[in-house]
Amino acid sequence: MSLSLPKPPRQKMINLLYIVLTAMLALNVSAEILNAFKTVNESIHHSNLSIDQKNAIIYQQFEKQMQQDPAKVGPLRERAQQVKLLCAQTNAYIDSLKNRIVTESGGRDDSGEIVKMDDLDAASRIMENQRNGAALQARLEDLRTKLLAFFPASARASAEKTLPLVIEMPPHTEKKTWSQANFDMVPTIAAVTILSKYQNDIKNSEAQVIDYLYSQINAQQFTLDTYKPLVSANSGYIMEGQKYQAQIMLGAYSSTVNPTITVNGQPIEVNNGVGTFTAVGSGVGEHTYNVNVSLKDRNGQVKTFTTTGSYMVGASSLSVSADKMNVLFIGLDNPISIAAAGVPAESVTASISQGSLSKTGTGRYTARVTTVGNASVSVSARVGDQVRNLGTMQFRVMRVPDPVAEVGGSKGGRMSAAVFRVQQGVAAVLENFYFDTKFVITHFTIGFDGTGFTDYLERQSNSALFTGDIKALMQQCRPGSRVFIDEIRAKAPDGTTRNLPSIAFKLY
């Protein structure tokens, strides 16, 4: 998620201020000009209060996300708090300079107004004679450097161009220092206005940095948030001397990222995200092996997943395999094919250790499982007058992975305000899954702020659809509005309720 906060036309303001300052060199400052500076300063003050409110909402969102996933959100929240502290310290320093300049010029009257707005000496004494102007310049430049350091190298070049806090020389001041150009022989109200303008830049910069940090909460995730190593074999039952081949992958894997895979401690070759393990059948009976899959997330942290695989070596020619993969999913109809060479299909019977197994056709079965772990499919056949055990095949039993929430086909980020206003609800999308199955959204909370909203507004829905109240707020959305959707719950095919990650949109 990214945010759009009001950014003043900085360069135009600076140019305007210095055109006015040039006109004041005769030291005859009219009341109209002083009042104009007073009006600009009050406008900047109100803008700063608005930005503070919007930044407070983002800090609140960090706290809300911390309750859901402290391990992931904690480091990002800590960095956001560092940004908050750095900007607060610099703003407090600028406030102290403003107070000193006002006090030096004669203070404020009983109504809080500056007594001598036209005083031309106070700013020069505080900022030039006492060297506070140079100190402020160094502090602003240091703050800009520290704020840019919160962006990774890949995003820093872009941030350098857009970060509002820029310490520039006003036009036509080539022979002056930055402090002289801003504060030498400047009326008190003008100096206070210039300092307020830099506070506005700091607050806008703070918003940009914490906006980026908040957007990284979901960026750290893999494509799906449930990951299990999966073993898909060409056959679970082989004859002596035959080769056993299994594809080992991380569920919901990415073909552009190769994990490190070891089988019984030995690395295997991985291509397009899939590792292939090959073994020669030797010795009748079940053979098991240990699998470790390691993959770096987007922060460079290594995540390791472990599982075990098994295959059966037998004397008879039996083939038992899941039509989709060698994993059975709870709540789904899992198709299984069973074939025994030399045995008529009508003589073959099969059973499963948990759930149920029903025959749907010649050599075709449907498995329904109920418990995560393992399930064994046992096959037997009547040969002559005897019932012969042909073997057992084990399958991993897993829950269907969590879907991701989408609005209008988007999982968050930037969206046109016009496109967002015509959306009907929130969808739960199961990406890169082997079965055609669906989740049903049963609840979500949606919040609005930014352009079009004076306060943060929040509504709930107990279905996948936007309610009438929500649609009414959607019609207020404009470019610069922000939308947060969290507390998303979806009903899975197995009847359980899943909590899905939050999504957020910045409208343009």
Give the position of tokens 């009438």.
468
Is residue 109 classed as helix, strand or coil in its secondary structure? coil
Please say whether the beta carbons of 466 and 485 come within 8 A.
Answer: no
pLDDT in tens, 71-98: 888 999 999 999 999 999 999 999 999 9
| Domain edges within the chain | 10-219, 227-315, 318-398, 404-507
Going by C-alpha positions, the residue among 30, 356, 67, 65 that lies closest to residue 210 is 65
- The backbone torsions φ and ψ at residue 265, rounded to the nearest 5 degrees and listed phi first, read 85, -5
Assigned superfamily of 318-398: Immunoglobulins (2.60.40.10)
Structure tokens at 151: 């962006």
Residues near 159 by beta carbon (within 8 Å), at least 6 away in sequence = 148, 151, 208, 212
Q: Which residue has the higher pLDDT, 40 or 503?
A: 503
pLDDT in tens, 59-75: 999 999 888 888 888 99
How far CA 392 is from CA of 22, 97, 154, 281, 315, in Å, comes to: 93, 82, 53, 16, 13
Average pLDDT score, the chain: 83
Is residue 421 classed as helix, strand or coil in its secondary structure? helix
Q: How far apart are CA 428 and CA 294, in angstroms?
A: 28
pLDDT in tens, 22-32: 445 434 556 77
Q: Which residue has the higher pLDDT, 148 or 317?
A: 148
Q: How far apart are CA 120 and CA 24, in angstroms?
A: 10
Measured between its terminal Cα atoms, the distance across the chain in Å is 12
pLDDT at 122 > cutoff 50: yes
* pLDDT confidence bin for 467, thresholds 50/70/90: very high
Going by C-alpha positions, the residue among 249, 358, 254, 346 that lies closest to residue 305 is 249
* pLDDT confidence bin for 210, thresholds 50/70/90: very high
Share of the chain above pLDDT 90, in %: 46
Same fold across 227-315 and 318-398: yes
Nearest-5° Cα angle at 298, 80 to 489: 75
- The backbone torsions φ and ψ at residue 369, rounded to the nearest 5 degrees and listed phi first, read -115, 160
How far CA 220 is from CA of 141, 199, 432, in Å, comes to: 30, 32, 19
Q: How far apart are CA 84 and CA 81, in angstroms?
A: 5
- Name the β-bridge partners of 379: 350, 391
b/e map 97-130, b = 16+ CB within 10 Å: bbebbbebbeeeeeeeebebbbbbebbbbbbbee
DSSP-derived secondary structure for 188-219: HHHHHHHHHHHHHHHHHHHHHHHHHHHHHHHH
Q: Does domain 227-315 have CATH number 3.50.50.60?
A: no
Share of the chain above pLDDT 70, in %: 81
- Name the β-bridge partners of 270: 275
